[in-house]
Amino acid sequence: MTKKILKGGEYLIRDIPCDDVFTPEDFSDEQRQIGETTEQFVEKEILPHIDEIDEQNFDLVVEGMRKCGELGLLMIDAPEAAGGLELDKATSMLVSEKIAPSGSFSVVYACHTGIATLPLIYYGTAEQQDKYLEKLITGEWLGAYCLTEPGSGSDALGAQAYATLSEDGTHYILNGTKQYTTNGGFAQLFTIFAKIDKEHFTAFLVEKDFAGLIVGNEEKKMGIKGSSTTQIILDNCKVPVGNLLGEIGKGHKIAFNVLNVGRFKLGACVTGAAKYAMLEGVRYANERKQFGKTIGSFGAIQEKIADMTANTFAAESLVYRLAGLLDDKLATIDKSIDDYYVEYQKGIEEYSPECAIAKVFCSDVLAHVVDEVVQIHGGYGYCSEYPAERFYRDERINRIFEGTNEINRMLIPGMILRKSMKGELPLQSEAMKAFESLMTPSFEELEDVPFAAEKDLLKNLKTLFLILAGAGVQKYMLKLGDEQEILMAAADLAIQIFAVESAVLRAEKIFPSASERKRDLLLAAVKVFSFNAAETAGSAAKKGAFYIEEGDNLTMILSWVRRFSKYDATGLLQAKRALASATLADEKYLF
């Protein structure tokens, strides 16, 4: 049976067979070996120096990146023709996940291999790639990406930096200031966005030694202290015309398409960080004694460990499911065509809603995990000699990086509704079917099979999303995009649906071949996460109903919210205790 390649957002209106999703259990031997290589690199080369790196010993950072280059970890996304490995997205995400325990170093790595290198790969001319790409993928040079300005963050197109063609036509003269440039203090190549003639938003490749480029002081940050974050000041900076990247006035395509991958990679990275942080909490819970017993034996701590485990399982399932979607889509593109990377970018853009979901959901999971790890440590979690304190500070930026979580939440339903308006997604007709189905009471009994209750929850949550989306569109029409609170409530519902479905489909896929112990743990993880997600989704839907409707219509929709967000979590306490006991006993991530 041929696998059907879903469109972006289509998960909201389709039932997906579990065999169609990619999971970590599907990794090849080669992928596992690359993951192990990355893990060993972090363990041997970075973690022993992590305190020095956090004290901004950038020589160690640069040296570490050079070693990454020697191991091939900087060339995973680069084309073979340019000396790269051109591996799939699942492998790229696996490396991002495994690099995550390196703390600040992972930020340097993610920036360099993502937003700093991908613009050149996707949009660079043959001459530009010949000149710069080998240096970037070997670690000889490090890269940076300059989009944000003091006065423009989320509104990237409101940038004030500008470029003017020199009188002799050989150079563009750039002026302006870029803010929060990751890798700014040691990068040799910058992708800088400026408006030609203060109008046409355009990207440029700018070398550190070009006249007029000034690197500002290091920002004094709350966390990720071992990464470099500076202003980049452009004072009549001379850039050869041959260093214009892409097309004049099309810089927004570069900025936003590359950010889709950046959001996805961040999802993988924070998932790896969540696994690592959680295990620090577990080890501490096994060591710390109070009232004559280890604190891990207390139910209050066990509940924290169970929730962290279940949420991390969902995040991991979501990330690799999305990797599989992207890889399936990109595999349909003929690599021999001249505009391969144009089509490649369209393939990635197809899943821009899911990329935003990965960024938001996984960064929220990490936030929950590190908060609980600090709490498990008690007062010691607030002291810098314990890694929990660093985890807490380093985590916070992830909900701001790559577009704030608020911006991404608004993008998710906005992008899905735009697909519907273009006729790419039959959301309107499916919403009508959902409304019609409400008039016909359903008395179906759940099958006595694993994950039947969770699949019923999914079906109901999808119906609920369609009801609320339909009500929102009916009331506000094209002005719905201005109703940010409604969009964010819709996003929270869409995010939980994708996360629950990812966890359920993964568990269902691997269940038949799993050991009896693993089956019990899968059932427990899915139950614990589904309960948490149903509560979050139900709250978001209820909020959305109050935002959209009033009177009798509100009463009716609230009754549907109660009906469709129900989840039978019988055995929840036993499931939590089983997850916690296994995690404490193994002192490792269970899945």
Q: SS3 of 376, please?
A: helix
Q: What is the pLDDT of residue 441?
A: 62
What architecture is domain 1-403? Up-down Bundle (1.20)
Q: Rg of the chain's alpha carbons, rounded to an integer?
A: 24
Other CB atoms within a 10 A radius of the CB of residue 437 amount to 13
What does DSSP assign to residue 180? E
In whole angstroms, what is the distance from residue 375 CA to residue 394 CA?
16
What SS3 string covers 238-290? Answer: EEEHHHEECCCCCHHHHHHHHHHHHHHHHHHHHHHHHHHHHHHHHHHHHHCEE
DSSP strand pairing (143-146 vs 200-207) = unpaired
Note whether 457 and 530 are within 8 A (CB).
yes
Sign of CA dihedral 425, 415, 93, 113: positive
Helices (H) and strands (E) counted in the chain, each on its own, are 19, 10
Contact 386, 380 (CB under 8 A): yes
From the first residue on, what is the mean pLDDT of each consecutive set of 10 residues in the chain (591 residues)? 85 96 98 98 98 97 98 96 95 98 98 96 96 98 97 86 97 98 98 97 98 98 98 98 97 91 95 98 98 97 98 98 97 93 94 97 98 98 97 98 94 94 90 80 75 96 94 90 95 98 98 98 98 98 96 94 95 98 98 97
Which residues partner with 144 through β-bridges? 190
Q: Are 43 and 105 in contact (CB under 8 A)?
A: no
Longest Cα separation, the chain: 81
Instruction: Answer yes or no: are the C-beta atoms of 402 and 458 closer than 8 Å.
Output: no
pLDDT of residue 590: 97
The whole-number pLDDT of residue 1 equals 56
Q: Could you count the other beta carbons within 10 Å of the beta carbon of residue 515?
A: 8
Alpha-carbon distances, residue 565 vs 90, 461, 496, 497, 505 (angstroms): 32, 6, 11, 11, 19
Task: Tell me which amino acid residue 202 is.
Answer: T
| Long-range contacts of residues 29-34, Cβ cutoff 8 Å, at least 24 apart | 31/90, 31/91, 31/94, 34/87, 34/91, 34/94, 34/95
Distance, in Å, from the CA atom of 33 to the CA atom of 41, rounded to the nearest integer, reads 12
Output the pLDDT for position 443. Answer: 61
Domain with CATH 1.20.140.10 in the chain: 1-403, 423-586
Work out the angle at residue 103's Cα, subtended by the Cα atoms of residues 76 and 495, and round it to the nearest 5 degrees. 75
Write down the pLDDT at residue 281: 98
Q: What is the DSSP string of 182-243?
A: ETTTT-SEEEEEEEETTTEEEEEEEETTSTTEEEEEEP--SS-TTS-EEEEEEEEEEEEGGG
User: Which residue is catalytic, options 402, 454, 508, 549?
Assistant: 402
- Which helix or strand (DSSP H or E) is residue 348 part of? helix 340-349
- Neighbouring CB atoms inside 10 A of 73's CB total 22
423-586 topology per CATH: Butyryl-CoA Dehydrogenase, subunit A; domain 3 (1.20.140)
Q: Under a CB-based contact definition with an 8 Å cutoff, are residues 266 and 398 in contact?
A: yes
> Any bridge partners for residue 206, and if so which?
190
Distance CA 36, CA 23 (A): 17
Q: Is 403 helix (H, G, I), strand (E, B) or coil?
A: coil
CB 34 within 8 A of CB 91: yes
According to DSSP, residue 498 is labeled: H
Q: Write the DSSP string, 522-575.
A: HHHHHHHHHHHHHHHHHHHHHHHHHHH--HHHHHHHHHHHHHHT----TTHHHH
Give the whole-angstrom CA distance, residue 238 versus residue 252: 22
Instruction: Residue 340: count other Cβ atoms within 10 Å of its Cβ.
Output: 14
CA gap 176, 161 in Å, rounded: 4
Tokens 């790559």 locate to: 402
Q: Which helix (H) or strand (E) holds 419?
A: helix 405-421
Q: Give the HSE-up count for residue 184: Cα atoms under 13 Å, Cβ half-sphere.
A: 23
Quick check: is 97 catalytic?
no
pLDDT reported for residue 269: 98
